[in-house]
Amino acid sequence: MTNSIRYFVGVDGGGTSCRARITDTNGTFLGEAKTGSANILLGADIAMASINEAIATAATHAGLDQTSFAAMSVGLALAGAEQKSAWYDFMAQPHPYAKVTLNTDAYGACLGAWGGKDGAILIAGTGSCGIFLHQGEQHIVGGREFPISDQGGGAVMGLRLIQQVLLAHDGIRTITPLAAYILAHFNNDIDSIVEWSKSARPCDYGKFSPEIFEYASLGDGLAIELLNQTAADIEMWMKALRARGADQICLMGSIAERIKPWLIPPLQKCIAIPQGDAMDGALAMAGGNHNLYPL
């Protein structure tokens, strides 16, 4: 660490939002802020703009200005960082910070969950990814981005919901209250759904996941079907992590934190309580060298 670094900045960025937290080098909290998506697969420039905005806003809350940026070591735990070309494209972006370290959001979450020690997590928010850190190696399952991967995440849930709503509209399945809610959301206009889908991002699909949980609690058949499928997906990832040697697994993210009652009892028993979150991991990254790929 260079003597010029006076601040650690942790950034947790996914398909829906980007959070930045600033501390001094002793870990004292100084400021925090939240902005839009920082998934680097959506574009290195887009992600960097969200990150810069989040850090600048957090700095303002901390009573700092832009002259402080050159004294910041930034740990970035970002969705999409596992894609090598996207990682290098992002790291080639100009920035005002003293140091930038980039790894995946799952890596940051795992560091935070296990206090920097070995362990496994399954993160399921907008997307999903499992990771097991063991003796300096990363064992990863899933996390290859929507729509080809990310089973168990909110975006896949939302995509499946829209698909089933279209089937219901065509009379192939029953229009449940959840299906009726989604149709009303689009003014009962199928063309609007089709047009929306052409530009919809993972977070746009994922925004329907709270309604799936809500309607499932009311006994909606479609919602229950979707949650059972999501639970099966998460069980698949958990079994894969256990096959790689993980004894306990922390479930993290908006979907994972709510899916436990839907999982089979044997897997419920191997769920551990996280010690921290991806932000804690990102701050730990700011204090060390955790780059996913060599510079």
Q: What is the pLDDT of residue 16?
A: 77
Q: What is the pLDDT of residue 79?
A: 86
pLDDT in tens, 165-199: 999 999 999 999 999 999 999 999 999 999 999 99
Among 74-83, 137-146, 262-271, top mean pLDDT goes to: 262-271
pTM, two decimals, is 0.81
Instruction: Please tell me the distance from the alpha carbon of residue 168 to that of residue 65, in angstroms, as a whole number.
Output: 54
Within the chain, where are the H helices?
44-61, 84-91, 105-113, 154-169, 177-185, 190-199, 202-206, 209-217, 221-243, 256-259, 265-268, 278-286
Exposure on the CB side of residue 71, measured as CA atoms within 13 A: 14
pLDDT in tens, 11-38: 999 877 899 999 999 999 999 999 988 9
Q: What angle do CA 166, 197, 11 make, to 5 degrees?
A: 125
Which one has a higher pLDDT value, 10 or 295? 10
Instruction: Please report which confidence band the pLDDT of residue 282 belongs to, taking 50, 70 and 90 as the band edges.
Output: very high
Taking the alpha carbons at both ends of the chain, their separation in whole angstroms is 17
CA distances from 73 to 61, 281, 285 (A): 18, 14, 9
Burial class from Cβ neighbours inside 10 Å (0-12, 13-18, 19+) for residue 221 reads: middle
Instruction: Return the percentage of the chain with pLDDT > 70, whole number.
Output: 99
From 137, 124, 132, 215, select the one nearest 176 (Cα to Cα): 215
For residue 46 the two structure tokens come to 């887009």
For residue 120 the two structure tokens come to 């496994």
Q: How far does CA 128 lie from the centroid of its chain?
A: 7
Beta carbons within 10 angstroms of residue 281's beta carbon? 29
What are the structural domains, with CATH classification, of the chain?
A: 7-115+276-286 (3.30.420.40), 154-272 (3.30.420.40)
Beta carbons within 10 angstroms of residue 4's beta carbon? 11
CA distances from 177 to 174, 180, 187, 228 (A): 10, 5, 15, 18
Indicate whether 75 pLDDT > 60: yes
Q: What value does the mean pLDDT take over residues 225-239?
A: 98
Instruction: Please tell me the distance from the alpha carbon of residue 125 to that of residue 21, in angstroms, as a whole number.
Output: 20
Q: Are strands 99-104 and 119-124 parallel, antiparallel or unpaired?
A: unpaired
Instruction: Please report which confidence band the pLDDT of residue 73 belongs to, taking 50, 70 and 90 as the band edges.
Output: very high
From 210, 217, 104, 199, select the one nearest 154 (Cα to Cα): 210
From 139, 118, 141, 137, select the one nearest 237 (Cα to Cα): 141
Instruction: Please tell me the distance from the alpha carbon of residue 58 to that of residue 43, in angstroms, as a whole number.
Output: 23
